[in-house]
Amino acid sequence: MRTSSLYIVFDKNENFGGFQIEKGFFFHTPFNVVLIDKIVKLIEKELKKNLYFKVIAPSLQKNIFKKSVFKTEFGLALNPTCEEIFIKFIDKYFFTSNKNIFLFQTSSKFRNEKRVEGIIKSREFIMNDAYSFCKKRKICLENFKKTLRIYRRIFNKLGVKFKEVKKKTRSIKSKKTIEFITTINNKNIEIAHCFNIGKEYLTKSYMNCFGIGVTRLCSIMINKLILEKKNILKIVKKRYVIIPTNNNKRLIKYSNKIYKLVKNSILDDRNINFKEKINDFKKINSEIIIISEFCVNNNVITLLKNNKKLDICIKNL
């Protein structure tokens, strides 16, 4: 694995692994996508274990009751969330039995919200949103509590510390609202929202809706590792980065040899100078293998860890 295949980006805003094309719009590189996929896989696994079924809903809709939306020239809006679509589907076409219905999807959402400095707010982001429907108010509340327990398990398994806060919201009428928040850089960032809606918008059933911000979780988990001075490369199951001091053929050939010997490593083949490469990977607490002329001549590597250098014979790798 090489940095050129992961497209690792160290941009000026410290958005490691991602690139902010414009304010609020992020291009997620292969490195970020590895973590995003892991988060989505865990969320969906936990939901499916508890009888939630995956669906795909449209990304466009009309008659949205939220204000912070992106409107199109056709009078439609990109989804900020999908409560309206699920309400129409269930209330008009689907709810004919007394059984509980549990549905979820993972898709892009769009919000034109005010940006707050120090808090990650993407205008387009990936959300896992889930919905439960039933015929009785009591069961609706039980389903709400059940999904709260699922969310707690998800965040515990991801290693994300959180607290639950009771909230009131103007955008959605609900009997009960719980927000999951975490703290990063002394800022509270919302990571999930849960609404016990009841029968506010439906005629035939009681409803709950839930949402986890997947891309926000990705950024939080990366920042958490950096603040805890842990090696970010563990996300892609790697430990070392190999960095040659220059690009002469002898060093590159030797670097490739070491890369094949050290299985849990990546090779930094970016077209930037040696000091920049070292500084980039120091920021994310990586263990660095330096390849110099001395290494080639003496059949060793130089391991840089916690600003200390150690020469190791390749026979001992």
* pLDDT for residue 303: 96
β-pairing, 70-71 vs 18-22, is unpaired
Angle at which helix 30-49 crosses helix 214-227, to 10 degrees, equals 120
The two three-digit tokens of residue 13, written as one number: 């805003």
For 116-126, letters b (16+ CB in 10 Å) and e give: eeeebbbbebb
Q: Which residue ranges form the domains of the chain, and what is each CATH number? A: 3-227 (3.30.930.10), 233-316 (3.40.50.800)
Give per-10-residue mean pLDDT for the chain (317 aa): 71 60 81 93 97 91 56 68 83 71 92 57 86 92 96 96 84 82 83 91 86 91 87 90 94 95 92 91 92 96 92 87
CA dihedral (270, 224, 159, 142) in degrees, to 10, reads -120
Q: Are 221 and 16 a contacting pair, CB within 8 Å?
A: no
Beta bridge partners of residue 31, listed in sequence order: none
One-letter amino acid at 301 equals I
* pLDDT for residue 60: 81
The two three-digit tokens of residue 236, written as one number: 């892609």
Separation between Cα atoms, residue 176 and residue 208, nearest integer Å: 10
The two three-digit tokens of residue 265, written as one number: 């490593």
Question: Backbone phi, then psi, for 211, in 5-degree steps?
Answer: -150, 135
Residue with tokens 């209330």: 91
Separation between Cα atoms, residue 17 and residue 28, nearest integer Å: 7
User: From the centroid of its chain, how far is CA 136?
Assistant: 35
CA dihedral (81, 82, 84, 85) in degrees, to 10, reads 160
Question: Backbone phi, then psi, for 78, in 5-degree steps?
Answer: -75, 140
* pLDDT for residue 199: 85
Beta bridge partners of residue 189, listed in sequence order: 182
Compute CA distances 315 → 199, 221, 239, 264, 292, whole Å: 70, 36, 19, 17, 17
Beta bridge partners of residue 244, listed in sequence order: 291
* pLDDT for residue 129: 96
pTM of the full structure: 0.86
Separation between Cα atoms, residue 73 and residue 51, nearest integer Å: 39
Which stretches does DSSP call E strand in the chain? 18-22, 25-28, 53-54, 60-61, 70-71, 77-78, 101-110, 124-134, 163-166, 176-184, 187-198, 206-213, 240-244, 265-267, 287-291, 300-305, 308-313
